[in-house]
């Protein structure tokens, strides 16, 4: 067969394929989509933009710390006889942690008691002498000097007695300090001295006790974030909780803390080395304490509200190849059109859109992979409740 015959056959087949089908000639529906061969509109899900109050939270990196971290030191110098606690275990306030050899202090106490007894005897004798010289001096039987010496001796005896009693109190305190007690209830740390060591008073650290209920979380708020929040609050676009932020922690494995707490401190100063404003939250940590000091966590501040905000699902917001974010909206012709937007904070599973959208517009939320600029779309019909999967039904209350 010649090339001319082949060309004629190919042209005839092409014309036959391009001619309308029998069903189309009669006004019926063919296989071609709208617009003469265009594919059918992509089926998508969409939402109508509405202005509403949206709860907003803020998340920062923080580190846990004990609400009280106390160094345990001896108040007297002596030989360490024993350690009376288990390292890393809970101790109660007033519990004995260490014992220092009390023998030298018991001897000092006995000596102080004897000094008090001697001072009392001297003071009583001086008082009797002064009382005896008083009528004699009135009758001019003794000289002025003798009487003055008797009165002075009585006063000196009283002062010596007070000094002896003060030394007795000091000796009793020193003996009591041989029992080194925990100043707070908490978790005891590692013992820094072993039995038989010489403890030279407060200069030597014995151990530490950390109170973990409640527990503190220290974190920093970047100065630019704090300034932005202040501007949004002053402009009325952000409402802060009157009772202070509620605080919840996100652990390293992504789980949330069982209980929430409150923000209890926020510094007005900016740390020049980090560029942040220091803040602190307090959370309950009872029953053994799931939280331990030193853990790195994500601090979630809850309670803020954005009035008249626009929120769209996170899956509806796409990244533009040129930078920035955009969404697909449905125009009046039923076509998908990209719309650049500015996204702010997250609220649950939604982006807060600060600019680019207005109330009443329809934003495509599902079916985005099938779209392109100007592509015709069709909004999918919502399924009846009976057709929804059983997993979507709310669980029955017990």
Mean pLDDT of 198-207: 93
Q: What is the pLDDT of residue 382?
A: 53
Phi, psi (rounded to 5 degrees) for 354: -85, -25
Q: Which fold has domain 102-177?
A: Helix Hairpins (1.10.287)
CA distance 278 to 271: 7
b/e burial code for range 161-200 (CB count within 10 A of at least 16 → b): beebeebbeebeebbebbebbbebbbbbbebebeeeeebe
Residue intervals of the chain classified under CATH 2.40.420.20 are 42-54+308-381
| In the chain, ranges of CATH 2.40.30.170 domains | 56-66+211-306
Query: Which regions of the chain carry the CATH code 1.10.287.470?
Result: 102-177
Taking only the tens place, the pLDDT of each residue in 147-185 is 899 999 999 999 999 999 999 999 999 999 999 999 999
pLDDT digits (tens, 9 = 90+) for 321-347: 888 899 999 998 889 999 999 888 777
pLDDT exceeds cutoff 60 at 11? no
The yes or no reply on domain 56-66+211-306 and CATH 2.40.30.170 is yes
CA quadruple 269, 272, 277, 279: dihedral, nearest 10: -100
- Residues facing 377 on adjacent strands: 42
Inform me whether the pLDDT recorded for 384 exceeds 50. Answer: no
Residue whose C-alpha is closest to residue 360's, from 310, 307, 295, 291? 310
State mean pLDDT over 130-156. 91
In DSSP notation, 179-192 reads EEE-SSSEEE---S
Architecture of domain 42-54+308-381: Beta Barrel (2.40)
Lowest mean pLDDT among 17-31, 48-62, 231-245: 17-31
Q: How far apart are CA 174 and CA 395, in angstroms?
A: 67
């Amino acid at each position: 067969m010649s090339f001319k015959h082949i060309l004629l056959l190919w042209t005839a087949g092409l014309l036959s394929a391009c001619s309308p089908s029998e069903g189309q000639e009669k006004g019926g529906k063919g296989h071609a989509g709208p617009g003469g061969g265009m594919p059918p509109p992509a089926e998508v899900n969409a939402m109508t933009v509405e202005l509403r109050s949206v709860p907003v939270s803020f998340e920062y990196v923080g580190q846990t710390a004990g609400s009280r971290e106390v160094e345990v030191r001896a108040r007297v110098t002596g030989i360490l006889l024993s350690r009376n606690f288990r390292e890393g275990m809970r101790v109660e306030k007033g519990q004995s942690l260490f014992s220092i050899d009390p023998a030298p202090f018991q001897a000092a106490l006995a000596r102080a008691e004897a000094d008090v007894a001697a001072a009392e005897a001297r003071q009583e004798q001086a008082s009797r002498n002064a009382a005896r010289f008083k009528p004699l001096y009135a009758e001019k039987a003794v000289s002025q000097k003798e009487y003055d010496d008797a009165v002075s001796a009585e006063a000196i005896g009283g002062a010596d007695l007070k000094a002896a009693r003060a030394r007795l109190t000091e000796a009793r305190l020193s003996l009591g300090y041989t029992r080194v007690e925990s100043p707070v209830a908490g978790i005891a740390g590692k013992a820094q001295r072993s039995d038989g060591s010489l403890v030279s008073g407060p200069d030597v650290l014995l151990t530490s006790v950390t109170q973990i209920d409640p527990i503190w979380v220290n974190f920093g708020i970047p100065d630019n974030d704090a300034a932005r929040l202040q501007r949004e609050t002053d402009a009325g676009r952000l409402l802060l909780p009157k009772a202070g932020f509620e605080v919840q922690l996100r652990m390293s494995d992504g789980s949330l803390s069982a209980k929430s707490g409150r923000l209890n401190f926020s510094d007005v100063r900016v740390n020049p080395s980090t560029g942040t404003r220091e803040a602190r939250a307090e959370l309950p940590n009872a029953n053994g304490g799931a939280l331990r000091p030193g853990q790195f966590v994500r601090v979630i501040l809850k309670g803020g509200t954005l009035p008249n905000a626009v929120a769209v699902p996170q899956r509806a917001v796409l990244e533009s190849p040129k930078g920035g974010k955009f969404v697909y909206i449905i125009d009046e012709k039923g076509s998908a059109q990209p719309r650049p937007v500015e996204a702010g904070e997250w609220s649950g599973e939604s982006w807060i859109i600060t600019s680019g959208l207005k109330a009443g517009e329809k934003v495509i939320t599902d079916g985005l992979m099938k779209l392109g600029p100007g592509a015709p779309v069709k909004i999918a019909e919502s399924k009846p409740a009976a057709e929804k999967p059983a997993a979507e039904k709310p669980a029955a209350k017990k």
